[in-house]
Amino acid sequence: MKFNSKSKALVAALVVALLLLPFITDALFGRGWVRIVDFAMLYIMLALGLNIVVGYAGLLDLGYIAFFAVGAYCYALAGSPHLALAFPMMFPDGVHLSFLIVLPLAALLAGGFGVLLGAPTLRLRGDYLAIVTLGFGEIIRIFLNNLNSPVNLTNGPQGISRIDPVSVANVRLSATQNVLGIEFPSVHLYFYLFLAFTALVIFASRRLERSRIGRAWMAIREDEIAASAMGINTRNLKLLAFAMGAMFGGASGALFAGFQGFVSPESFSLMESIMVLCMVVLGGMGNISGVILGGVLLAILPEVLRHIVVPLQQSLFGKTLIDPESLRMLLFGTALIVMMLYRPAGLLPSRVRRRELDSDEVPESIGRNQA
Amino acid sequence: MMVETTLLKLSSVGKQFGGLSALSDVSLHIRRGEIYGLIGPNGAGKTTLFNVITGLYQPSVGEFQFNGQGYQACKPHVLARAGIARTFQNIRLFANLTALENVMIGRHVRTRAGVLGALLRNRATRNEERAVVERARELLRYVGIEKPAQTLAKHLSYGEQRRLEIARALATDPLLLALDEPAAGMNATETASLKSLLQTIRDSGITVLLIEHDVKLIMGLCDRVAVLDYGKKIAEGIPEEVRKNPDVIAAYLGASHD
Amino acid sequence: MEIFLQQIINGLVQGSVYALVALGYTMVYGILGLINFAHGEVVMIGAMLALSSLTVLLGLSVPPLLALLFSIILAMAGCMALGYTIERIAYRPLRHAPRLAPLITAIGVSIVLQNLAMMIWGREYHSFPQLIVNATHSLGGAVINDIQIIIFILALLIMAGLMAVVHRTRLGRAMRAVAENQHAAQLMGVDINRVISLTFMLGSALAAIAGLMVSANYGLAHYYMGFVLGLKAFTAAVLGGIGNLRGAMLGGLLLGLIESLGAGYIGDITGGFFGSNYQDVFAFLVLIVVLVFRPSGLLGERLAERA
């Protein structure tokens, strides 16, 4: 089934809207919000990566942000003067590898960590993976915080700064660029970069979902014993899902480091892992549009809380009783519970459900070309 | 017995759980192209034996040969690849996937596309995928549930779920189809049509191993039957013989817990 | 040698607290096959409740021991109510749901408890009031103080008490029956829901005491203390063989020793590369090593590999 003209027009409109989004946001809310949108895109990438692990293969990864951290620090070390401190003889100016080299490197490194962590735990029950990943998230943070001595690898709690900005084809995204008389500020440029990567992640997710591998993942999620009786090597496929999720996380981390120009351990707390998990659960596990919706909602929510809850409390009580940060986490925790109890499939009904309701749809959708 | 006609041969297989012996010294062989029935009172070790053959349990002692190859401790997916497919006593479908997808997953072991194929969706992958869908539809038709192909497995009727499990197992191109109480919970009409389905499957050249509670079904369908009691094989042979075997009669009269 | 003895003492004291918390994980796991992620937060709530009550009572010039007794009872009651509520709200409705569901609600409960605690008690560290003159004793070159002695002995007594409950009482028998086979237990007339609720309450009561012990030992309590403690206690439970009560106790003590000796000697072992600030890493390494080489734990019989 090919796109009909109506859906073609819809897609075109969506693309135009997305391309204009930074300008519209800038005009309506100010440049600070473009930055927020950029971060939202990063979160969506992360959530889509976690969705492969949790949504497709049904593996609960509670330390997902650790892979993000691995990617971010990989980029930070390979693209900043920092290593000059630790190895002045080897790298007198630090290391400054190109973004296009570091990005796959970061993804592979994170994937490698995923394999290291997954191999011993994935043959066990799912709960063990959950707790091991939880521990891993903490351990990574301990290492990041303490590996500043005797060799200063991570610069400890201060983090690594002066990270090279991303530059693509000699265009530095950290500076305002002028194209055809239109000014593109840095945050706009990063938006387009992230948009491209998000599109790539969505594309990869969709293709995986509708493939032999994706079906095997879902079989494992539904019933591991039956899956293995059907000839699926559950351990290898779980490891594959886990490593792929980790790779997506690592790549997002590298983008994050380049965008922010600075990384420190506090960006990679357990709460961040929980937030990404929330995005996946809220939107709908295993459902790409649901996960995107979840990502958008939850990435914007803290900003909304900050801009509404604080002034509201100020005007009602004259002071801030509940800080927006803990209110946000409280909402996340409650959302996890409520969603699991009352709407385990998430806010958006899944593809299969929809297809089941719409019996007219041609079932050959499996071979269909996806945009 | 000529070796090449034997598909599955168990030699003194035993299985212990803690100190309990669920199977002891069970030897039997299943010939190619037959329907082989396994009966016995509740708790006789039928499902344990079944789980050993399909790799869900590792035998404590003994080994079995399948299709000329010896196996001792083996993962289910290896045995599935070798050609043993199974269904489960308490249906284990992929509940939130459609009937078609359930059967497509059965094709996993006979297809090859990996991550790269999935991402690039090259010609080989597309062709394979098309073949998978085609074969899955064919199998749904074969077991008689073509219509609800796009229905989630959990929303199918009980009889349809049983059939879907058979279709999914057949999708792995098995040499041996092992069915764990496929008629459980079925009414007379459903059982009759299941019986003819199993005969069709056998006639297509697939060997069938059947565990059943319904002795009448077993006797009317199987070429040969083995009887288990307290983890031991107490009789084996054609149904008429087994039916008259005094040990079998004693086991059923003495130990019937139904 | 003094360092060695000192680390042994510290390890045993810390380990006895891990053991109490590990028992909570293991009891619930034994009965429901579920990791109660929120258990660490129950410990934290117990510590906070006890601390608040102590502060108030001492402020009213209630005699210290009376204040302590009342605070323990209050913390235990509060935690039991909490444990009961958690099970009712977050786990019971999902008993037949896919595995992932109760794990996610458990995480949700943890987050909620942690942030509620932060709202109530703030982000700052609370110091534990001094109740007794905490005399230190010399023991072959190492020192041990009264609080440590009390913690260790009390923990052992409580564990002995728990074993008596599990093996000598009707409730204990029902618990073991449910752990063995829920369906069969139900057929034999055991009220499964009641047993499960009571198990959660029992585990939470132990958690309350453990929380009090931790904050007494370190002189501090904090809204975030439950997370790492829970992780370690879980590791202890896995080390001993999750689902096995004796295993949890053994695992707790062992983990305490490993951690303490590890932290004491890591500098020497790695030539000063890693310092004692890596103490928290040991528990995690133990967890990984156990899962790789002996997933059923030291005393576990049943293989953990089960879908």
Chain A CA closest to residue B52: A229
Of A146, A271, A337, the CB nearest to C278: A146
CB under 8 A, 24+ apart: contacts of C166-170: C166/C245
pLDDT in tens, B61-92: 888 889 988 887 788 999 999 999 999 989 99
User: Taking a C-beta distance cutoff of 8 angstroms, is the pair B140, A229 a contact?
Assistant: no
Residue B124 confidence (pLDDT): 92
Domain extent listing, chain A? 5-367
Residue A369 confidence (pLDDT): 37
- Say if residue C306's pLDDT is above 70: no
Question: How far A112 CA sits from the closest chain B CA (Å)?
Answer: 17
Classify B69 in phi/psi space as left (phi over 0), alpha (psi -120 to 50) or beta: beta
Confirm whether B88 is domain-assigned: no
Average of per-residue pLDDT across C151-163: 93
Question: How far C292 CA sits from the closest chain A CA (Å)?
Answer: 5
Alpha-carbon distance values, B92 to A12, A231, C5, C12, C159 (Å): 43, 14, 56, 47, 42
Cα–Cα distance for residue pair A45/B104, rounded to 1 Å: 29
Question: How far B241 CA sits from the closest chain A CA (Å)?
Answer: 34
Cβ distance A330 to C287 less than 8 Å, yes or no, reads: no
What percent of chain A stands above pLDDT 70? Answer: 92
Average of per-residue pLDDT across C236-244: 89
* Cis geometry, peptide bond prior to residue A88 (ω within 30 degrees of 0): no
pLDDT in tens, B41-62: 877 888 899 899 999 888 888 8
- Say if residue A96's pLDDT is above 50: yes
Confirm whether B224 is domain-assigned: yes
Cβ distance A224 to C307 less than 8 Å, yes or no, reads: yes
Residue B4 confidence (pLDDT): 61
Confirm whether B43 is domain-assigned: yes
Average of per-residue pLDDT across A245-271: 91
Task: Give the neighbours of chain C: at least 3 Cβ pairs within 8 Å.
Answer: A
Q: Does A157 touch chain C (CB under 8 A)?
A: no
Cα–Cα distance for residue pair C178/C255, rounded to 1 Å: 29
- Say if residue C144's pLDDT is above 60: yes
Q: Which of residues 124-153 of A touch C (CB under 8 A)?
A: 124-128, 130-132, 134-136, 138-139, 142-143, 145-146, 150
Cβ distance B93 to A234 less than 8 Å, yes or no, reads: no
| Residues on chain A bordering chain B, Cβ-to-Cβ distance under 8 angstroms | 204, 207-208, 211-216, 218-219, 222-223, 225-234, 240, 244, 352-353, 355-356, 359, 361, 363-364, 366-367
At A309, give phi and psi (nearest 5°). Answer: -65, -40
Average of per-residue pLDDT across C213-221: 89
Top residue of C26, C87, C112 to mutate, by most chain A CBs within 10 Å, is: C112
Q: Which of residues 20-49 of C touch A (CB under 8 A)?
A: 34-35, 37
pLDDT in tens, A160-176: 888 888 877 777 777 77
Cα–Cα distance for residue pair A243/A99, rounded to 1 Å: 22
Cβ distance B56 to A215 less than 8 Å, yes or no, reads: no
Q: Which amino acid does the sequence have at B41?
A: P
Question: How far B5 CA sits from the closest chain A CA (Å)?
Answer: 25
Classify A243 in phi/psi space as left (phi over 0), alpha (psi -120 to 50) or beta: alpha
- Kindly state the DSSP code that residue C278 receives in the 8-state scheme: G
Task: Give the neighbours of chain B: at least 3 Cβ pairs within 8 Å.
Answer: A
Cβ distance A225 to B113 less than 8 Å, yes or no, reads: no
- Residues of chain A contacting B128 with CB distance shorter than 8 Å: 212
Q: Residue B114 belongs to what domain range?
A: 93-155
Cβ distance B85 to A229 less than 8 Å, yes or no, reads: yes
State the average pLDDT for chain A. Answer: 84
Question: How far A207 CA sits from the closest chain C CA (Å)?
Answer: 24
Q: Does C305 touch chain A (CB under 8 A)?
A: yes
Residue labelled with tokens 């034994």:
C30
- Residues of chain A contacting B104 with CB distance shorter than 8 Å: 215
User: Taking a C-beta distance cutoff of 8 angstroms, is the pair C75, C145 a contact?
Assistant: no
Q: Which residues contact A277 (CB under 8 A, 6 or more apart)?
A: A50, A54, A61, A62, A64, A336, C104, C107
Chain A CA closest to residue C90: A337
B72 lies in the same domain as B127:
no
Residue B257 confidence (pLDDT): 45
- Say if residue A44's pLDDT is above 60: yes
Looking at the domain covering A5-367, what would its CATH class be?
Answer: mainly alpha
Cβ distance A340 to C105 less than 8 Å, yes or no, reads: yes
Cβ distance B109 to A232 less than 8 Å, yes or no, reads: yes
Alpha-carbon distance values, C88 to A66, A331, C24, C241 (Å): 32, 20, 17, 27
Of A204, A208, A215, the CB nearest to B105: A215
Chain B CA closest to residue A231: B77
Total H helices, total E strands in chain B = 10, 10
Question: DSSP 3-state assignment of B223?
Answer: coil
Cα–Cα distance for residue pair C109/C120, rounded to 1 Å: 16
C252 band by pLDDT with thresholds 50, 70 and 90: very high
B67 lies in the same domain as B192:
yes
Expressed in angstroms, the distance from the first to the final Cα of chain C is: 47
- Residues of chain A contacting B148 with CB distance shorter than 8 Å: none
- Is A341 buried (19+), middle (13-18) or exposed (0-12) by CB count in 10 A? middle
Cβ distance A336 to C105 less than 8 Å, yes or no, reads: yes
Confirm whether B160 is domain-assigned: no
Candidate from A86-95, A220-229, B112-121 with smallest mean pLDDT: A86-95
Cβ distance C35 to A225 less than 8 Å, yes or no, reads: no
Of A211, A356, A367, the CB nearest to B130: A367
DSSP structure string for C95-155: TTS-THHHHHHHHHHHHHHHHHHHHHH-SS-EEPPP-S---EEEETTEEEEHHHHHHHHHH
Confirm whether B214 is domain-assigned: yes
State the average pLDDT for chain C. Answer: 88
Question: DSSP 3-state assignment of C22?
Answer: helix
Cα–Cα distance for residue pair A360/A356, rounded to 1 Å: 9
- Residues of chain C contacting A131 with CB distance shorter than 8 Å: 35, 37, 231, 234, 287
Confirm whether B219 is domain-assigned: yes
Candidate from A311-315, C214-218, C275-279 with smallest mean pLDDT: C275-279
Chain B CA closest to residue A370: B121
Question: DSSP 3-state assignment of B178?
Answer: strand
Alpha-carbon distance values, C150 to A119, C72, C146 (Å): 42, 14, 6
Average of per-residue pLDDT across A358-368: 38
pLDDT in tens, A179-203: 787 777 888 888 999 999 999 999 9
Average of per-residue pLDDT across A251-256: 94
Task: Work out how many domains chain B is built from and give that number.
Answer: 2
Q: Which two tokens stand for residue C233?
A: 């206690």
Confirm whether B60 is domain-assigned: yes
Pairs of residues, one from chain A and one from chain B, whose beta carbons lie less than 8 Å apart = 131
Top residue of C37, C41, C89, C107 to mutate, by most chain A CBs within 10 Å, is: C107
Q: Which two tokens stand for residue B5?
A: 């006609």
Cβ distance A213 to B114 less than 8 Å, yes or no, reads: yes
Cα–Cα distance for residue pair A335/A323, rounded to 1 Å: 18
Task: Say how many CA atoms lie within 13 Å of B168 toward its Cβ.
Answer: 33
Residue A359 confidence (pLDDT): 42
- Residues of chain A contacting C100 with CB distance shorter than 8 Å: 54, 58, 60, 126, 285
Of A207, A215, A225, the CB nearest to B119: A207
Residue B93 confidence (pLDDT): 95
User: Taking a C-beta distance cutoff of 8 angstroms, is the pair B201, B222 a contact?
Assistant: no
pLDDT in tens, A268-313: 988 888 889 988 988 888 889 899 999 988 888 888 887 787 778 7
Cα–Cα distance for residue pair A169/B63, rounded to 1 Å: 63
- Can you list the domains of chain C with their CATH numbers? 2-293 (1.10.3470)
Confirm whether B166 is domain-assigned: no
